[in-house]
Structure 1
Amino acid sequence: MRVPARLLPLPAAAAASVLLTGCFSSTGSGDADAEGKRIRVAMMQPPRSGLSPLSDDAFKLSRWSTAETLVKLDRRGDARPALATEWEQSGKTWTFTIRDGITFHDGTKLTAEAVVNSLTRAATSAPKPRILDGVELTAKAEASDTVTVTTATEDPLVPQRLSSPQLSILAVKAYEGKTVDPVGAGTGPFELTDVNGTSSASLDRFEDYWGERAKAPGIDVRFVPDGTARAAALRSGEADIVEAVPVSQAAVLDQDLITEVPMPRTNTLYLNTEKGVFKDASMRAAARAAIDAESIVKGVYEGRADVAEGLLGPALPWAAGLREPVSRVKAGKPSGQTVTIGTFTDRAELPEVAAALQQQLQKAGFKVKLDVREYANIESDALAGTFDAFILSRATVLDSGDPAAYLYSDFASDGSFNISQLADATVDKALRKAGERPAGDARRTAAVAAEAAVLSTDAAVPMLHERVIQGDAADVVGAAHDPRERELVTADTYVR
């Protein structure tokens, strides 16, 4: 039974208080200066890779409006100009015109060479950013304001790929060390000025920004993995914007301060197809048959989620209309086999989901052990196939606005995020077909067919589609509520 924050026993309440003590220093207190208040933001996950844009940390840089890409996506997922003003395709090559008059935060100018430098570093990194899984990409400066991007095969989604925050364009100085350092190297309305490990970050308004001048003088970020502490920061007035308010805390907050947005994020149980109990397809089917997702939505998420019909959820409404029944292996009968399920604490609901699954699978005849840690301490084991199963809250169109990239990353034989260790020729064929189709109805149909191919293996059991719950203090104006989790604080965001 969940205990509301207002009813926490003294030790738990004290622990939350300790987590919040000094959450925002006096330097970034949000006090008004001559031009308004700095925005205090409580983020869920600390940086995993020193804020390198080649990792998932790129989405923090994007949400703080400090790093920008050549292209951005509109609400429909269509490509729109950003650092590039226009583009055209000729076979395997796309030509992009670079916007004139843009200055990096270090004072250097945005040029075609700088763009090529960023794209080449991303394309040749190991591992590659997810958006480039299965893509061989080369970039070349054709003129001071013109860049060509060429792929090994014709790729209709190059503009969408270049919208990924993992392909942000940074100043040359960012790449001079062994790791990519985004401090003072972006082009956005806010300049990243300081990063204090996994504790905090600071950004100041960039006065030479090429677009609309930011309304707030700066941003002070604190990384607060504990969901209760994040919610308490909003309640106490210590934070202006709180990312990912846990479902358990949403009900005890002022409902006028929270916004609930359906998002393309699926809570999925990945089953290890390479070794262990779930190498047997009938045991994977037994696990899938044992899961009662509706009870998890009602019990853990208090109804603030949607039961999954597939990997692609209601944030992609076209998927349901294209989906057909999936042919699956008949479920076997478990006879006391022991399985270990891994998950992480960063998303407050996941340990509760794990506990619920443990009960459901044990009722079906499995013996279940749980391994729950912070994500930074468990990701490598998950990718190495250490667990029999892993529970992951996974964004399905985070990178390109197109689910084909996510499906390839997670389920292709050579996918960089293949937690299920899946190697299935039929799935690979369907994924390649989806990746080759042009944007539009044909590509959407192929993506749903690829989803069906994955589901037929029971390598992944989608349970529910999450909704993002964001907390904004009453005096916050213009905070972004982005289902793709690319925007949070924009040039239009400020505190009254």
Structure 2
Amino acid sequence: MRLPARHLLPVTAVTAASALLTGCFAGAESSTDTEADGKRIRVAMMLPPRSGLSPLSDDAFKLSRWSTAETLVKLGADGDAQPSLATEWQQSGRTWTFEIRDGVTFHDGTKLDAEAVVRSLTKAATASPKPRILDGVDLTAKAEDADTVTVTTATEDPLVPQRLSSPQLSVLAAKAYRGKTVNPVGAGTGPFELTKVGGTASATLDRYDAYWGGKAKAPGIDVTFVPDGTARAAALRSGEADIVEAIPVSQAAVLDQKLITEVPMPRTNTLYLNNGKGAFEDASLRAAAREAIDAEAIVKGVYEGRADVAEGLLGPALPWAAELRGPVTRAAKAGEPNGEAITIGTYSDRAEMPEVAATLQQQLQKAGFKVKLDVREYTNIEADALAGKFDAFILSRATVLDSGDPAAYLYSDFASNGTFNLSQFADKKVDGALRKASDTEVGDARRKAVIAAEAAVLAQDAAVPMLHERVIQGDAEGVVKAAHDPRERELVTIDTYVR
């Protein structure tokens, strides 16, 4: 099933969008494009800043993607902690000791030291609201000497290094913290210095030649925020942008396929089944719903094949999950719906969700359920979903939160006292598996415990994972080594340039 013609971009819209982007990027090359060794990189990003690029908000991920702000730790492909502004660390009970990298300067020329790290971490730990990564975490930082910082938590936490990799815990110069807001302009440590912010329209970054990791290959970055997906696709087609974020599925088919890359995201489109009351309190009907769902048809029809059919809750963005996963032994066999009436809720903020709901409605009705849909904006439906007012709820869910570890997601969604338990699910055996996954030391043992917890959840049909989403990134023909990062922490790196 192909998407209807309304999804295709009319020629007039291409022209209008191209004109819009031409205006947005006008003058980009004139910023400081006097370098002889490369072109400035023009980037079209989807979401404009929401909090003035404060690292204490989701804007932190923009600073990370532009390689301007850095953290003590970064994450490897498997989510393991690797050195960044800290070179090494060790744990002693509730306290972790970090050695700070020597020879690092902020973009204003001041030196990175332990006091600077403590200042940034303390600002984040005492912020209201706290960065997501510190929800429920009581963290204090102390400078032991000029190059050593200790981080202590209220309870022993094996994930402290991974937490410190969150872009929301970036380390900035003292100048960033003057006044009531955090201002990252000229205050980072990365290979590119943020020099100018044009409100919610644009940002300018120039190469920082004193970067501790060497000289960036590109002389700078010119960012334009373009919320309209049609306009972003047009920017790639017309050559007005070099790197384009989040191209809509509906536009990807009409672009030169050599210019787009589909990046697996740690995001799963999942049908949460209400285990607490109603039809799906019956395990056999949960099993019947699972067996009735044709996820491949949803991937082909709604996502035009640009998604991956789910084998579990964790997808290809975590390659180790498939390697460790085995067959799931289900707790119940499928029963007969016999016209059982159910209401499925979802939200309209993501364009594909209502289409997914409509397809599911057809599939479940064919299996014998009587299905009603309730589709609203997310802010108007979340409270009802959390209160268990639907028999089922469709959600595009991030399965790896800011720590790069999926245990927190599994616990919040499927523990008896989970804070995001849409399934109203409570099972002592599953609770035990989730606690083990949360408490196990980081590494192979923790990954195995996570997959065991996933299997325990799936055995009870608490939720039905349907597909794993991809984000579509556009890179113009001359772009070299743009990052394609499932966690959306990297985009333009020290090695990225335009021929």
Name the TM tier (shorter chain): 0.7 to 0.9
Task: Check 1:459–1:333 CA distance in 2 against 1; reply closer, same or farther (3 A cut).
Answer: farther
- 1:69-122 CA deviation, whole Å, 9 max, x = no partner? 111122333322110111112222211011122222233322212212222233
Partner of 1:215: 217
Partner of 1:438: 441
Shift of 1:480: 1.2
Look up the equivalent residue of 1:174 and give its one-letter code: A
Map 1:222-301 → 2, pairs under 5 A: 222-270=224-272, 288-301=290-303
- Inter-partner Cα distance in structure 1 for 2:79 and 2:480: 25
* Kept in 2: contact 1:358–1:369 (CA 8 A): no
Is 1:308 matched up with 2:313?
A: no
* Kept in 2: contact 1:336–1:365 (CA 8 A): yes
Among candidates 394, 403, 408, match of residue 406 of structure 2: 403
Among candidates 490, 493, 496, match of residue 493 of structure 2: 490
* Kept in 2: contact 1:246–1:469 (CA 8 A): yes
Partner of 1:367: 372
Ranges in structure 2 where 5+ consecutive residues have no aligned partner: none
Q: Judge which range, 234-243 or 421-430, deviates more.
A: 421-430
Residues matched between the structures, number: 490
Partner of 2:34: 33
Shift of 1:398: 5.2
- 1:97-149 CA deviation, whole Å, 9 max, x = no partner? 11122222233322212212222233334444343344332211111110011
Look up the equivalent residue of 2:183 and give its one-letter code: D
Among candidates 76, 82, 85, match of residue 83 of structure 1: 85
Helix, strand or coil: the match of 1:302? coil
Q: Judge which range, 233-242 or 478-487, deviates more.
A: 478-487
Look up the equivalent residue of 1:62 and give its one-letter code: S
Partner of 2:471: 468
Shift of 1:281: 7.3
Among candidates 429, 445, 450, match of residue 447 of structure 1: 450
- Inter-partner Cα distance in structure 2 for 1:421 and 1:58: 31
Partner of 1:322: 325
- Inter-partner Cα distance in structure 2 for 1:232 and 1:322: 41
Task: Check 1:190–1:225 CA distance in 2 against 1; reply closer, same or farther (3 A cut).
Answer: same
Partner of 1:22: 23
When normalised by structure 2's length, the TM-score is: 0.85
Q: Judge which range, 225-234 or 392-401, deviates more.
A: 392-401
Helix, strand or coil: the match of 2:451? helix
Provide the aligned C-alpha RMSD in A: 3.4
Look up the equivalent residue of 1:91 and give its one-letter code: G
Is 1:59 matched up with 2:64?
A: no
Map 1:116-131 → 2, pairs under 5 A: 116-131=118-133
- Inter-partner Cα distance in structure 2 for 1:219 and 1:379: 39
Q: Judge which range, 437-446 or 176-185, deviates more.
A: 176-185
Look up the equivalent residue of 2:246 and give its one-letter code: A
* Kept in 2: contact 1:190–1:206 (CA 8 A): yes
Task: Check 1:398–1:90 CA distance in 2 against 1; reply closer, same or farther (3 A cut).
Answer: same
Partner of 1:110: 112
Helix, strand or coil: the match of 1:318? helix
- 1:314-341 CA deviation, whole Å, 9 max, x = no partner? 3334323334425456665664454432
Q: Judge which range, 19-28 or 381-390, deviates more.
A: 381-390
Partner of 2:75: 73
- Inter-partner Cα distance in structure 2 for 1:453 and 1:266: 18
* Kept in 2: contact 1:200–1:222 (CA 8 A): yes
Helix, strand or coil: the match of 2:23? coil
- Inter-partner Cα distance in structure 1 for 2:343 and 2:59: 35
Task: Check 1:390–1:128 CA distance in 2 against 1; reply closer, same or farther (3 A cut).
Answer: farther
Look up the equivalent residue of 2:407 and give its one-letter code: A
Look up the equivalent residue of 2:437 and give its one-letter code: A
Q: Judge which range, 153-162 or 264-273, deviates more.
A: 264-273
Shift of 1:307: 0.8
- Inter-partner Cα distance in structure 2 for 1:82 and 1:156: 19
Among candidates 319, 343, 346, match of residue 341 of structure 1: 346
Q: Judge which range, 125-134 or 383-392, deviates more.
A: 383-392
Same amino acid, percent of matched pairs: 72
Look up the equivalent residue of 2:252 and give its one-letter code: A
Partner of 1:2: 3
When normalised by structure 1's length, the TM-score is: 0.85
- Inter-partner Cα distance in structure 2 for 1:334 and 1:223: 49
Shift of 1:464: 0.8
Q: Judge which range, 297-306 or 59-68, deviates more.
A: 297-306
Helix, strand or coil: the match of 2:452? helix
Shift of 1:434: 0.9
Task: Check 1:390–1:251 CA distance in 2 against 1; reply closer, same or farther (3 A cut).
Answer: same
- 1:369-417 CA deviation, whole Å, 9 max, x = no partner? 32257xxx6797688669846544444335333221332344456666x
Shift of 1:211: 1.8
Shift of 1:358: 4.6
Shift of 1:53: 2.3
Partner of 1:101: 103
* Kept in 1: contact 2:416–2:431 (CA 8 A): yes
